[in-house]
Amino acid sequence: MSDKTNTIIDVNELQTSFFVEGKEVKAVDGVTFDVPSGKTLGIVGESGSGKSITSLSIMRLITNPGKIKGGEINFNGENLLNKTEAQMRKIRGNQISMIFQEPMTSLNPVFTVADQIGEAVMIHQGLNKKKARAKSLEMLKLVGIPSPEKRLDNYPHELSGGMRQRVMIAIALSCRPELLIADEPTTALDVTIQAQILRLIRNLQDELGMSVILITHDLGVVAETCDYVAVMYAGKIVEYAHVNDLFKKPKHPYTVGLLKSLPRHDIDMEGDLSTIKGMVPTPDAMPEGCRFAPRCPFARDMCRERLPHLEKDNGNQVRCWIHTDQWDGPEVNVRDDYESAASKQS
């Protein structure tokens, strides 16, 4: 993890559960990470890993039947879980902003672009309607929307997917937040628009000096965009590392499996891509030991019986028995031995 004195947000042992038919289902179970000031943390993992629930927990947007059960979310040294709802309303959209996955459902279909951008600055910065409209125009120019004067009075259905995503970014950045949470910001966009949106976020980050949490399942996006990476699996962080370390020397078998599944220029693209056998367990049916053990080609009895802790390794962290002195199996180079072990997996 990074130096705490230079950290904008520090999430410690966060636990978020949902209560269904009297049963507690743990969607986020003891998640710990931090984000250095001015840097980008990518949170990556398959669907169902708990990435979006983590981001909604940070924003305190978990609603019934969900509940944040414990842990800390320290933003600029203050625990957001101790804030009242009135205090959180002053923080959301002002100091911390979020870009949601699907702009067509996040934008209000009956209000114009100017109304929706202007609402945030009127609430948080006290601008009147005229000044809020001028601010909305400034933000549309900032995010690179063509003919911004015309787009001010458009409704969401009159915009393309890429433009709607840019409007979402304009809303999120209108109050110059210190932290931006981007939850799958390029979902359902074609690759050209994806690249433009990611480049825009990077440029605005440099210009505004903000920190970013990028939620994604795409390791290619992580490689191009992030400084640090937290790999999530089944509600837990299984690896946290600097982006260069993660790609050069991944520690956790799940991380290696994700990297092996990426298309590569040095293999025959007509053949099958590498896959991770099995499925992410559902939150109500978690394995007793390591949650990746049922899919892991290196798993032994100890992995199936006991959950490993996050172990520090030169500033990075990994949750895997292989990297502890308690490992009772043969010496393993996870990256180099993965394909051989996976081929023997039943």
CA dist 142 and 200 (Å) reads 9
Integer Cα distance of 52 and 42 in angstroms: 12
8 A C-beta contact, residue 71 and residue 13: yes
Residue at which a domain ends, from 121, 153, 176: 176
Beta bridge partners of 23: 20
pLDDT reported for residue 267 = 46
Confirm whether 218 is domain-assigned.
no
Q: Where among 159, 176, 193 does a domain terminate?
A: 176
Q: Is residue 232 part of a domain?
A: no
Q: Is residue 208 part of a domain?
A: no
- For 144, the domain range is 105-176
Instruction: Examine residue 339 and state whether it is found in any structural domain, yes or no.
Output: yes
Can you tell me the distance from the alpha carbon of 194 to that of 196, in angstroms, rounded to the nearest whole number? 5
Predicted local confidence at residue 167, as pLDDT: 92
116 lies in some domain: yes
Mean pLDDT by 10 residues, the chain (346 residues): 75 96 92 95 94 96 95 97 96 93 81 94 93 95 92 95 89 92 83 84 89 92 94 97 95 95 60 79 90 96 95 87 93 92 83
Residues 151-189: tens digit of each pLDDT: 999 999 999 988 998 899 899 989 999 999 999 887 767
| Residue 304, domain member (yes or no) | yes
Alpha carbons 202 and 161: distance in angstroms, whole number: 20
pTM: 0.91
User: What's residue 262's pLDDT?
Assistant: 82
Which of 153, 176, 199 delimits the end of a domain? Answer: 176
Q: Quote the percentage of the chain above a pLDDT of 90.
A: 71
Is 37 within a domain? no
Name the nearest CA neighbour of 223 among 181, 259, 176. 259
Q: Amino acid letter at 216?
A: T
**248-284: pLDDT as tens digits:** 999 999 999 999 988 765 544 455 567 899 999 988 8
- Flag whether 334 is in a domain: yes
Number of domains in the chain: 2
Distance CA 127, CA 208 (A): 20
